[in-house]
Each structure stands twice: as structure tokens, then as C-alpha cells.
Structure 1
Amino acid sequence: MRYTILLHYTEETDETLGEEVMAEGQRAFSAYAQALHQAGVLLSGEVLQPSTSTTTLTTVDGELRIQDGPYADTKDQLGGTFVIDVPDLDVALEWARQAPAVAWGAVEVRPGATYVRDGGWEPNA
């Protein structure tokens, strides 16, 4: 079963964190990704650019609106994701517990409903 581990945390920069802390975080995420890969459960992972580079599309009263910046007005932003394929929620939670971001933000685990394979939709089972 596919699960997406969503990493929510306060956005920081090299300047606000400092080079050493940023490098430590990058090492922790690299080690986490490597552990997922070595276990054979990692399907994909992605660190997102800062929310300031976001463009959000919504429809209001039938009219498309395009907005610079994130839709959510909050300090914590979605910072990255890992998509894993594991037998069940308990195993997904065990991997999520090991995500470095759990020490400074929220880590959400959400099962996928469907996914695209070879151009067609597949049920997540």
C-alpha cells in the first residue's frame, strides 16, 4: 500500500538557521532517504522550494484565480514528501516516526487512493 509522508514545518533559510544547522539537516534527510531506499520501500521523495515560490489556483464563483504564494496562511508549510510502499499503516507510521522533520514540525501520513502507472489510474491496494 502506498503512503505519502508529508513534512510540515516552519520555513527557514541558510541565514536564519546557519550553515552548520542546515548541513546537519541535509545529512539527516539524506540518511533517512537512504534508509528508505535500502529497505526497498521508497518510491519517491522531494524537497519543495520555499512557499514564496508557490502559485495557487482556485475557482471562486466560477472564475479561475491565480495567486502568488501558498493558499494556507500559516507559519508551517509543506516542505517535502516521501512516497513509500509498505504493507500497512503501522509500518508507514514507523517510517514516519524516523523522519528528521518530526523533531521540529508535523509529519502527516496519508494513504494514497489511486496512482498513475503507464498513463492509467491504478487503485492503491
Structure 2
Amino acid sequence: MRYTLLLHYPEQTPESLGAEVVAEAQQAFASYATTLEAAGVLLSAEVLQPSSSTTTVRRRDGVLQVQDGPFADTKEQLGGSFVLDVADLDAALEWAGRAPSVEWGAVEVRPGAVWFGDGQWRPNA
């Protein structure tokens, strides 16, 4: 089964964290990704740019609205994701508990499915 681990944590700049903390976090995530890869469960990983670079698109009353900036009502922002292929939810939760960011934020575990891959739509996947 596919699960996406959505990493939510307080957003800070590299300058406010300091070079040593940034280097430690980068090493922790590199180690985590290497461990996931070695276990054969990692399908992809993404690091998102800061929420200040977000653009939100909505359609209201037939009109497309495009607005700059994040609109989540939270102090934490989505910072990245790992897509895993594991046996079940328990396995996904096990991996989520090992994500470095679980120490300073939340890791949302959400089931997923491939809807488009290899050039074909697969809505029943």
C-alpha cells in the first residue's frame, strides 16, 4: 500500500536556525531517506520551498482566484513529504515515528494511490 508521510513543522529560516542546526537536520533527513531506500519502501521524497512562496488557486462562483501566500490556519506548515510503499498502516506508522521531524512537528500519514503513471490513467489503482 502507498502512504504519504506529510511533514508539518514550525517554519524557520536557515539564518534563524543557524548553520550547525541546518547541517544536523540535513544529515538526519539524508540518513532517514537512505534507511527508507535500503528497506525498499521509498518511492519519492520532496522538500517544499517556504510557505511564503505559496500560490493558492480556488474557483469561487465560476471565477478562478489566484492568491500569493499560505492560507493554512496553523503555526506549522507542510515542509515536505515521503511517499512509501509498505504492507499496511502499521508499517507506515512505524516509519513515520522514525522521521526526524517528528521531534519538532507532526507527521501526517495518509493513504494514497497512483492515479496516473507510466503514461496512463489508473483511477482504480
**TM-score tier (shorter):** over 0.9
Which residue does the alignment assign to 2:9? Answer: 9
Hey, what does 1:69 align to over in structure 2? 69
Where structure 2 has 5 or more consecutive residues not aligned to the other structure, the ranges are: none
Deviation at 1:114, TM superposition (A): 3.9
The offset of 1:116, in angstroms, is 1.6
1:86 aligns with 86
2:45 corresponds in structure 1 to: 45
- TM-score under structure 1 length normalisation: 0.94
Query: What residue number does 2:106 align with?
Result: 106
2:105 partner amino acid: G
Identity of aligned residues (%): 66
Moved more, 59-68 or 30-39: 59-68
CA distance in 2 between partners of 1:92 and 1:83 (Å): 10
Matched residue type, 2:86 = V
Within 1, Cα distance between the matches of 2:113 and 2:62?
Answer: 27
- Deviation per CA, 1:82-103, whole angstroms, max 9, x where unpaired? 0000010000000000000100
Alpha-carbon offset, residue 110 of structure 1: 0.2
**In the alignment, residue 121 of structure 1 is paired with which amino acid?**
W
In the alignment, the residues of structure 2 paired with residue 5 and residue 87 of structure 1 have an alpha-carbon distance, to the nearest angstrom, of 15
Greater Cα offset, 28-37 or 53-62: 53-62
Number of positions where the alignment pairs a residue of Structure 1 with one of Structure 2 = 124
**Structure 2 SS opposite 1:65:** strand
Equivalent residue letter for 1:50 = P
Deviates more, 1:26-35 or 1:73-82: 73-82
